[in-house]
Amino acid sequence: MKDIKNIRREIDKVDDKISSLLAERRELVTEISRYKKSQGLEIFDNEREMEILKKANVYDGAVFRAILDASKDYQAGIINAGTFGLISGKEIKSLSPLIHSFWGDYEYRLCPVSEDELPSLLKNLAYDGFNITMPYKKRVFTLCDQLSPECYALGNVNTVKREIDGSLTGYNTDYFGFQYIIEKNNIDVPGKKVAILGKGGAAYTCKAVLTDMGASNIELISRNGESNYQNLDKFKDAEIIVNATPVGMYPNNGDKPISLEGFNSLEAVVDVIYNPYKTALILEAEDRELKTATGLEMLVAQAGKAAEIFCKGNLEEGDIEDVIDKVLAKLLNRCLIGMPGSGKSFMGRRIANVQGLKLMDTDRIFISRHGMVPKDYIEEYGIERFKVMENQILKDVTKNQGQVIATGEGVIDLPENKNLLRQNGVVIHITRDLEKLSNHHRPPLKGTNMEKLLDKRNPIYEAWSDFDISNNVDFRKSFLVINGPNLNLLGTREPDIYGAETYADLENYVNGVADDMNISIEIYQSNHEGEIVDKIQEAAEMYDGIVINPAGYGYTSVAILDALKAVALPCCEVHLTNIEEREEFRRKTLTGSMAVKVISGMGFEGYRLALETLNG
């Protein structure tokens, strides 16, 4: 009889599969809902429902009935809501679908069109309204049947609502969005001198808002106008600076239109760029302890106003802040810093798994790029060269959003890394008591007392981080155990070579080892190369290491070798028999070149030795 712990492990695996399948089903139901909506079909299809229920056995009927009822409610929400779109001149990567998903149940599509196609799209009755982005804001102004007052003042439209009679009403919610971020961040405008960088549509919207809020003097600064970057000294008494240019926008993170050096009267900086969340200009302003406002907050606010127009609702106090929090929860990177052995990679995996985010471990990326662990690279090329390489990895990784980033322990040694982490993320200091720290597999600390190092670095960790997470628990490491082709035939396949014990016996043995060592494991077996490659790739965000018995693939599979290289997890290779005493072709494996240790000829005991090696 199986041990209850093993049975519960298997139940947990089944539950994970059920959850994944329900998510997959929900995506398909969304597609079905949109198809039914486009074709005018009813939500309920009795024949289809009976067809599904007939397939279920008597024990599953109630479960399927609950799923079908939930599915119908979900479809009703989608079908009864409107359909809206974002019109642009080309294919764009936009946050608008994500943001609007928090504002309502309506469908929201990206609609790139040529200028010739623009009028017909606006007349398309399949859409109940649109948001408009560049380059069509002024063009749509001329195509609306009626306009709200702010559109006349600004000369452009960014939101269109189809009325019951089919006519189009134009609005500009950018005005509301910009005014919102000024007020939200307590930026005092009346009587202030303002410098706006840029002379495009966004700059004039900002100017209109600030004029209405009582700014005493507003200068629009551009490259070629009378007020330009060459005579910037004339405007160094500005009290508010607004960046309405694209300088510093992804993928050119880190660029700034100007330096704030010499603006000694400055009180606040606003940047309408929403990606990255905090531009280099905003970060400089924060370092100077100035008030700031970001483009992402503006984007959410104007989308909320558009949703109010689309759905004929009313924004309640706190609604915008609530959606900003939800969007940031999706977009912000969780950047982990801390001492060697504090558990950044361990905590990163847990956070990534719980929150459904991608884990980016900079040490593993370094290994993948340079083919060496940081410790060996430093010994060969020196710490300064290592810092440059690590900094480049951070530049690449931190441009993206919605990740957990586990950094190397020396990341704080280069001050510019601080703002790389802050541009799209919150910085989390992983703390751990001194006696529990370990520098296993970390860059060397030659001649360095750990206590002195902690005293030296703690003030930096505190200055960089937004908050701390204590990791003083005796955490359980987690490992993936992969068994390759034909191992499922243990006990019947060549028992004179591999023994009489079955694959089930092997699983029970390895699970027992895991319990003895207080570690968590998943055991996986496949006879197919591609499935093993997929499993290794998935392991990158879930496990502390891999034990692999590649069986015959160890001698032939470049694909499995490449997968092990790509994930750069510590790996041990196991063979039940002594490969040195087998046929010549079995004596050296391809995959073994990526292993910390190759263990052969120890039978099941080899798995224990491999797990002990990886567990440290």
pLDDT tens profile 60-91? 777 877 888 888 877 777 776 789 999 999 99
74: exposed, middle or buried (Cβ count in 10 Å: 0-12, 13-18, 19+)? middle
- 276 cis-preceded (ω within 30 degrees of 0): yes
Q: Which of 153, 107, 102, 156 is nearest to 132 (CA)?
A: 156
Average pLDDT over residues 224-235: 90
Q: How confident is the model at residue 497 (pLDDT cuts 50, 70, 90)?
A: confident
What pLDDT score was predicted for residue 451?
Answer: 84
Question: Of 316 and 326, which is predicted with more confidence?
Answer: 326
Q: Is residue 115 a contact partner of residue 91, using CB atoms and an 8 Å limit?
A: no
- 97 cis-preceded (ω within 30 degrees of 0): no
Question: Of 189 and 350, which is predicted with more confidence?
Answer: 189
Supply 156's token pair. 């452009």
DSSP helix/strand/coil, 373: coil
Q: Which of 139, 141, 145 is nearest to 153 (CA)?
A: 141
What pLDDT score was predicted for residue 406?
Answer: 96
Domains for the chain: give ranges and CATH numbers.
Answer: 17-80 (1.20.59.10), 175-293 (3.40.50.720), 332-470 (3.40.50.300), 478-615 (3.40.50.9100)
Q: What percent of the chain has pLDDT over 70?
A: 96
CA distances (Å), 496 to each of 239, 420, 492, 493, in order?
Answer: 85, 59, 10, 9
Average pLDDT over residues 271-276: 97
Angle at 185 between CA 132 and CA 268, to 5 degrees: 95
Q: Is residue 406 a contact partner of residue 336, using CB atoms and an 8 Å limit?
A: yes
Look at residue 481 and tell me whether its pLDDT is greater than 50: yes
Q: Is the dihedral of CA 92, 93, 96, 97 positive or negative?
A: positive
Look at residue 441 and tell me whether its pLDDT is greater than 50: no
Look at residue 534 and tell me whether its pLDDT is greater than 60: yes
How would DSSP label each residue in 483-503? E-TTGGGTTTS-HHHH-S--H
What pLDDT score was predicted for residue 59?
Answer: 63
Q: According to DSSP H, which parts of 155-200 are helical?
A: 174-184
What pLDDT score was predicted for residue 597?
Answer: 92
For the chain, the straight-line distance linking the first and the last C-alpha, in angstroms and rounded, comes to 32
Look at residue 466 and tell me whether its pLDDT is greater than 90: yes
Look at residue 442 and tell me whether its pLDDT is greater than 60: no
d(C-alpha 279, C-alpha 282), whole Å: 5
Average pLDDT over residues 592-597: 90
If you search the block for the tokens 């690279």, which residue do you land on? 377
Q: What is the amino acid identity at position 196?
A: I
List the beta strands (DSSP E) in 83-236.
Answer: 83-88, 107-112, 129-132, 146-147, 159-162, 168-171, 193-197, 217-221
Supply 277's token pair. 């969340």
Supply 201's token pair. 């549509």
Look at residue 448 and tell me whether its pLDDT is greater than 60: no
pLDDT in tens, 93-108: 899 999 999 998 888 9
Angle at 404 between CA 288 and CA 343, to 5 degrees: 100
Q: How confident is the model at residue 447 (pLDDT cuts 50, 70, 90)?
A: very low
Q: Which of 378, 434, 428 is nearest to 407 (CA)?
A: 428
pLDDT in tens, 317-347: 899 999 999 999 999 999 999 998 888 988 8
Look at residue 285 and tell me whether its pLDDT is greater than 70: yes
Look at residue 207 and tell me whether its pLDDT is greater than 70: yes
d(C-alpha 8, C-alpha 499), whole Å: 29
Q: What is the amino acid identity at position 216?
A: S
Q: Is residue 195 a contact partner of residue 265, using CB atoms and an 8 Å limit?
A: no
As a whole number, the mean pLDDT across the chain is 90
d(C-alpha 550, C-alpha 535), whole Å: 13
- The catalytic site residues sit at 498, 575
Supply 219's token pair. 């200068």
What pLDDT score was predicted for residue 23?
Answer: 84
Q: Is residue 569 a contact partner of residue 364, using CB atoms and an 8 Å limit?
A: yes
DSSP helix/strand/coil, 146: strand
CB count within 10 Å of CB 535 equals 19
Average pLDDT over residues 122-127: 93
DSSP H/E element including 410? none
Look at residue 445 and tell me whether its pLDDT is greater than 60: no
Average pLDDT over residues 270-289: 98
Look at residue 440 and tell me whether its pLDDT is greater than 60: no
CB count within 10 Å of CB 25 equals 12
Look at residue 312 and tell me whether its pLDDT is greater than 90: no
Q: Which of 96, 143, 152 is nearest to 123 (CA)?
A: 143
DSSP helix/strand/coil, 30: helix
CB count within 10 Å of CB 228 equals 12
Q: Is residue 112 a contact partner of residue 135, using CB atoms and an 8 Å limit?
A: no
